[in-house]
Amino acid sequence: MRRLLLKICYDGTNYCGWQVQPNGISVQQKICEALFSLLGEKTDVTGCSRTDSGVHANEFYCHFTTGNQSIDNRGFIGALNVRLPDDISVIDCIEVNDNFHARYDALGKRYIYKLYYSPVIDPFKDKYSLRVPKRLNIERISEFCKNVIGTHDFEAFSAAGKSVTDTVRTVYDCSFSADGDDYTFTIEGNGFLYNMVRILVGTALAVSDGKLNPDDFSKIIQSKNRALAGKTVPPHGLYLNKVFYERDEENFG
């Protein structure tokens, strides 16, 4: 048996998220279907995260186990891509040890959220970025982002319906940048709660507008009250941008 780790990217617009669900088509479903078509066997595919409906991934990892020995790793890439829709692509295939787990062995993840300023909708940007009708206050948002860094109980920045009871997470880095009329919110941490990044972005927008102060982050954290944080921004601007693993012989021998 071989355990293979796929590095993929996808446009999440047409999917109900990564995880197989009864109410829609998921990215995981499409990967499983492609593997069945290629290998002729049902294969359990485990992802590194559970991205929500409409969320994209520039870098996503999933692993599966197969008894097929005839197709090399490079061959898997081309063979799977011809069986996948155009909005999902396999970038790499790596053989890993039997105990490797795409989710539990991840050391951290980096998400980005894209926004753009325009008084009117830009049809070329609007599908993958959130439009803001006035320019944002980079200085205020950057001050807010500095407060986000560290280990906190993010209960107030999680949506109802989360499946975890431990809401403490560590954020290693958080920043906000501008490139002309385009904005990017970047956050890196050891894990994220349901809708956590989208709520943080919504809170950052409230800080920019002056509805909240950058230092209000601490008060919101201490309150554990979701109602005190900003709105949950739409999913189409959110991307899982990078997943971190320790690439040692134990996992990638």
Element containing residue 220 per DSSP (H, E): helix 216-223
CA–centroid distance for 55 within its chain: 7
**Assign residue 135 a region: left if phi > 0, alpha if psi is -120 to 50, beta otherwise?**
beta
d(CA 193, CA 226): 13
In DSSP notation, 85-151 reads: -TTEEEEEEEEE-TT--TTTT--EEEEEEEEEE-SS--TTTTTTSEEESS---HHHHHHHHHHH-EE
Residue type, 72: D
- Residue 136 φ/ψ, nearest 5 degrees: -90, 155
Residue carrying the six token digits 């990638």: 252
d(CA 187, CA 112): 6
- Number of C-alpha atoms within 13 angstroms, CB side, residue 125? 16
Catalytic-residue membership of 52? yes
Q: Which position among 11, 52, 105, 216 bears the catalytic label?
A: 52
Q: What residues act catalytically?
A: 52
